[in-house]
Structure 1
Amino acid sequence: MTTDAPIFESDLIFDQFIEEIQFRAFSVGYEFEEFRYEALVDLIFSALLDFALPASEQTITAINAQRKLRRAAKTVYATEKYGKRGEFGEILLHIVMRDYFGSVPAISKMYYKDGPNETVKGFDAVHIVPRDNDLELWLGEVKFYNNIRNAIRDVLPELHAHVDKVYLRNEFLFINNKIDDSWEYSDRLKRLIDERTSLDKIFSRIKIPVLLTYDSKVVRSFSQACEEYKKHLISELNEYHDVFRGNELPNVDIVLILIPFEDKKKLVDKLHEKLRILQLI
């Protein structure tokens, strides 16, 4: 499903190289022979408020705009040891789910952090997609890495652990306790994940989008989105998709999302610089 009007207008930044039911792949390409770092940074921060704050906190006015933005920035993290943190990957997943699958966030896990540098355990995203009188439950996983094989290696055990019966019941309890009663889908989602609802009924409605990032040899080898670049990048993306699907995966609907970078460290440094500015406004 692709929405007609992407909320974050990410279609102006992303080129979608692969669009399949269970596999999506995006790249930002180049501008004046340079990887579009600034465009990607701007896209990520355009989703900050929607990602970090619950819907009830997102009303922006001329009076509260600065305070809301600062508050949202502070929920991400407040440390100089940011190199291996994954929050920006979670925002990327949030953008893709909203813009390309028409999802609606159920809870903002960042909002419920116990401290500014705490990591929130559980699924990296909890969204729903309305389907007529039914709901799909989208439970996202992210590995914001520079090495694709490490990303695949590390996400696999989490996928298996996160579809365990006990784990799901505990996660649903956490989600249920955090759902805003004023949210339009509140009652429907609470009934879906109620402890009395059979997991068989819930499982048939679960989709797990898995977003993996990595430093791409193809992206580093080109400076323009020419036809040769597109051919090589699609080949690389399909190769890693095959590697991922070649592993033993849990029996649940998994959508793989790949986003290749030129240099993840350089991107993270730019993201951190902008985050610090917003935290101080």
Structure 2
Amino acid sequence: MQVRRAFLEVIVDDASIDPPLSGVCAGFESGQWRTRQLAKRLFDDVIDFALPYSERQEFNSDTGMLMLGRAMRKIYTSEKYARRGEFGELLLHMALREVFNTEAAVSKIYFKDGANETVKGFDAVHIVDNGTGLELWLGEVKFYNRLSSAIRDVVTELHDHIDSDYLRAEFLAVEGKIDRSWKHAPKMLSMIHEDVSLDEIFENITIPVLLTYDSRAVAARVAEISGDPERSSETKEAYRIAFEEEVRKGWESFVAAGLPHKVRIRLILVPLHLKKALVDALDERLRLWQELTA
């Protein structure tokens, strides 16, 4: 069995601050930020992202193309893709799995009413098995090109989404989507049962917040090495310093926006080169897969 190497590099990982901060980079190749490589890597996770547990267990050489096509069509088929959120949810899914070793509890996108509908509620419902019990990771993502806008919008949603009535409604929806054949289903259902106090549930909840934006540090790095990729290793440490300075300033802006205090939050910043270029590469790959599996 081939072991997959981590694609994302965690340059900043600071659990000593509240909320903890992770700064994640997709890396560079031949003098360019790895836009197309990231697009390819994201689609490696599409089965895990878009299909429920029981269907994933049936994936084999006979069913693979049919199930892959189903997964691809679950994302969207619309021509108007620039402002859609599914790719952000896919990036969140990948980052949680790769960086934090989570497991998807529910494929939210699988339960869309239509291919081009949006999914309400948290953007990811994952768990971490810590050996003594389950931690529930309810993810939020803003796949934006401006960090200030991402912070503004996600902080509003954080306050809305930890409202007691909202959480009860979300747990009820999640309960109906948990695959009963999944080994963690009994614990998960018990954890979010309506008879369990929200105070107790909050003790086991983490809200990972993933924000993207077009990064000055990344753009400066590309400008520096695009004409001479040989300089990449020479200037790597200077880039890491600039990257860390930028994401720590982003963390300060996030905290200053006024976060809710009764739940654990973890901030994940993913600076991009150009969000538009990444979205275009993702859309191109999605449509190719949809044609191949039609």
| TM-score class normalised by the smaller sequence | over 0.9
In structure 1, what is the equivalent of residue 133 of structure 2?
A: 134
- CA deviations on 1:228-274 (whole Å, 9 max, x unpaired) are 21111111111001110122111110000011111000110010000
User: Residues 272 and 7 from structure 1, CA distance in 2 versus in 1: closer, same or farther, beyond 3 angstroms?
Assistant: farther
User: Residues 233 and 133 from structure 1, CA distance in 2 versus in 1: closer, same or farther, beyond 3 angstroms?
Assistant: closer
Residue of 22, 29, 32 corresponding to 2:30: 32
In structure 1, what is the equivalent of residue 259 of structure 2?
A: 249
- Between the aligned partners of 1:221 and 1:279, the Cα distance in structure 2 is 36
In structure 1, what is the equivalent of residue 228 of structure 2?
A: none
- Between the aligned partners of 1:29 and 1:133, the Cα distance in structure 2 is 36
In structure 1, what is the equivalent of residue 272 of structure 2?
A: 261
Counterpart amino acid of residue 101 in structure 2: G
Matched, 1:98 2:97: yes
In structure 2, what is the equivalent of residue 3 of structure 1?
A: none
- CA deviations on 1:52-99 (whole Å, 9 max, x unpaired) are 001111132222211111111100011010001111111111111112
Matched, 1:278 2:289: yes
Which consecutive residues of structure 1, in runs of 5 or more, have no partner in the other structure? 1-5
Counterpart amino acid of residue 29 in structure 2: E
Mapping of residues 18-29 of structure 1, within 5 Å? 18-21=12-15, 22-29=20-27
Residue of 209, 226, 249 corresponding to 1:239: 249
Mapping of residues 184-263 of structure 1, within 5 Å? 184-223=183-222, 224=225, 225=232, 226-251=236-261, 252-263=263-274
Indicate if the aligned counterparts of 1:8 and 1:95 stay in contact, CA closer than 8 A.
no
Name whichever of 196-205 and 225-234 sits farther off.
Answer: 225-234
Counterpart amino acid of residue 15 in structure 1: E
Name whichever of 74-83 and 125-134 sits farther off.
Answer: 125-134
Indicate if the aligned counterparts of 1:29 and 1:35 stay in contact, CA closer than 8 A.
yes
Q: How many residues align?
A: 274
Name whichever of 175-184 and 127-136 sits farther off.
Answer: 127-136
Indicate if the aligned counterparts of 2:152 and 2:257 stay in contact, CA closer than 8 A.
no
Give RMSD over aligned pairs. 1.4
Percent identity reads 45
In structure 2, what is the equivalent of residue 43 of structure 1?
A: 41
SS of residue in 1 equivalent to 2:11? strand
- Between the aligned partners of 2:55 and 2:3, the Cα distance in structure 1 is 18
- Between the aligned partners of 2:59 and 2:283, the Cα distance in structure 1 is 24
SS of residue in 1 equivalent to 2:106? coil
- Between the aligned partners of 1:145 and 1:210, the Cα distance in structure 2 is 13
User: Residues 86 and 31 from structure 1, CA distance in 2 versus in 1: closer, same or farther, beyond 3 angstroms?
Assistant: same
Which consecutive residues of structure 2, in runs of 5 or more, have no partner in the other structure? 226-231
Q: What TM-score, normalized by structure 2, do the two folds share?
A: 0.90
In structure 1, what is the equivalent of residue 85 of structure 2?
A: 86
- CA deviations on 1:103-141 (whole Å, 9 max, x unpaired) are 111110111000000000000000111122311110000
In structure 2, what is the equivalent of residue 112 of structure 1?
A: 111
Matched, 1:162 2:172: no
SS of residue in 2 equivalent to 1:222? helix
1:165, CA displacement in angstroms?
A: 0.3
- Between the aligned partners of 2:220 and 2:176, the Cα distance in structure 1 is 48
Name whichever of 56-65 and 168-177 sits farther off.
Answer: 56-65
Residue of 8, 18, 21 corresponding to 1:14: 8
Q: What TM-score, normalized by structure 1, do the two folds share?
A: 0.94
In structure 2, what is the equivalent of residue 151 of structure 1?
A: 150
SS of residue in 2 equivalent to 1:106? strand
